[in-house]
């Protein structure tokens, strides 16, 4: 597996990471614990060194799973986790909570669940409008000075917020949604990250599975699957967006690759400091995703993808209105 550095921080990780959320949270019933451990360890065996989790996934159970799975190889991997949601008894009903005292409490609890003495990359999961970002960055800076955290990250943050945080404690990585069917970061986010030397970690790089071509108009999602509530996954939207999948399939066939591999290779080709973190509960999908790191897209391939997709409008919002209220704009 090729390696990449997240911006100017010096943090080196595998070119493709592994988003662990789906093993415990968000897409229906949690995976069997032993199966989840086996899959995470299979990813390590195949060269993945970058694993993404969060306290809110479960909540808490995903960190437990990741900690147990990676304990035998802790010195060989980078673990990213997150704070910022109100999921503990101390949050007093706050949906978001990035008060400094809460950040510290989350860090201490995450260290225990992850069975480690340091969090490699600690993201603010969502920007808390009630807490100045300078206070957030300052608390993480203190945790770094204490040796409990190595690097600071933000998620779904605006350029203004990124700049303010970066002035207090250098931001190593921004994690936000980015894929062939959600390209908003290209307008302002990517230029700012390039200027500041910050890496970019796209989540949902396969469009929550849609870009694999495995989700048809008639597909049904399990109870508890967040896609049941996302407008982009309504039956009408899926029907309209099938044109994107058909086009992606033609490009993939011409390259002797899969749709998922083209979608991931496209992201890797955008910038050398972009590291996508696709998730899966299946070994064959893990192997397929990692194969994208060996797929080279020439400038002519990228131009063809650009021209093809530019002619296909994507239907449906990526989040519900409630979820969008938690995105820093």
Q: What is the pLDDT of residues 73-111, one digit of tens each?
A: 999 999 999 999 988 656 656 789 999 999 999 999 999
Q: Is residue 72 part of a domain?
A: yes
Q: Is residue 235 part of a domain?
A: no
Q: What is the pLDDT of residue 3?
A: 98
Q: Is residue 192 part of a domain?
A: yes
Cα torsion 285, 289, 294, 295 to 10°: value is 100
Q: Is residue 240 part of a domain?
A: no
Domain count of the fold of the chain: 1
Are 225 and 28 a contacting pair, CB within 8 Å? yes
Residues 6 or more apart from 111 whose CB is under 8 A from it?
117, 118, 119, 148
Q: Is residue 49 part of a domain?
A: yes
DSSP code at position 80: E
The residues annotated with a catalytic role in the active site are: 57
Are 121 and 80 a contacting pair, CB within 8 Å? yes
Examine residue 305 and say whether the peptide bond preceding it is cis (omega within 30 degrees of 0). Answer: no
DSSP code at position 30: P
Q: What is the pLDDT of residue 90?
A: 61
Q: Is residue 313 part of a domain?
A: no
Tell me the CATH number at 159: 3.20.20.100
Q: Is residue 315 part of a domain?
A: no
Q: Is residue 251 part of a domain?
A: no
Cα gap 159→193, rounded to integer Å: 9
Cβ-based neighbour number of residue 222 at 10 Å:
10
Q: Which domain holds residue 124?
A: 3-209+271-295
pTM beyond 0.85, yes or no = yes
Which residues in the chain show pLDDT less than 50?
none
Q: Strands 50-52 and 78-83: what pairing? A: parallel
């Amino acid at each position: 597996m090729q390696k990449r550095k997240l911006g100017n921080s010096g943090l080196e990780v595998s070119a493709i990471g592994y988003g662990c959320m789906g093993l415990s949270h968000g897409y229906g019933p949690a995976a069997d614990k032993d199966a989840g451990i086996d899959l995470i360890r299979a990813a390590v065996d195949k060269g993945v060194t970058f694993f993404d989790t969060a306290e809110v996934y479960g909540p808490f159970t995903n960190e437990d799973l990741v900690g147990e799975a990676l304990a035998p190889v802790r010195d060989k991997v980078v673990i990213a986790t997150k704070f910022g949601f109100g999921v503990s008894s101390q949050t007093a009903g706050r949906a978001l909570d990035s008060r400094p005292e809460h950040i510290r409490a989350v860090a201490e609890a995450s260290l225990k669940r992850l069975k480690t003495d340091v969090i490699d990359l600690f993201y603010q999961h969502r920007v808390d409008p009630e807490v100045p970002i300078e206070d957030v960055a300052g608390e993480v800076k203190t945790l770094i000075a204490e040796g409990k955290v190595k690097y600071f990250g933000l998620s779904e943050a605006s350029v203004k917020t990124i700049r303010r945080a970066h002035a207090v404690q250098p931001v190593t990585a921004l994690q936000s949604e980015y894929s062939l069917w959600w390209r908003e970061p290209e307008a302002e986010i990517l230029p700012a990250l390039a200027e500041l030397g910050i890496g970019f970690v796209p989540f949902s790089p396969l469009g929550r599975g849609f870009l694999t071509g495995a989700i048809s108009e008639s597909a049904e999602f399990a109870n508890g699957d967040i896609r049941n509530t996302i407008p982009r996954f309504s039956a009408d939207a899926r029907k309209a967006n099938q044109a994107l999948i058909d086009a992606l399939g033609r490009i993939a066939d011409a390259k002797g690759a899969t749709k998922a591999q083209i979608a991931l290779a496209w992201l890797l080709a955008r910038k050398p400091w972009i590291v996508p973190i696709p998730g899966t509960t299946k070994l064959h999908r893990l192997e397929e995703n990692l194969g994208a790191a060996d797929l080279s897209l020439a400038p002519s391939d990228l131009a063809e993808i650009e021209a093809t997709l530019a002619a296909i409008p994507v239907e449906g919002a990526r989040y519900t209105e409630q979820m969008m209220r938690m995105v820093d704009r």
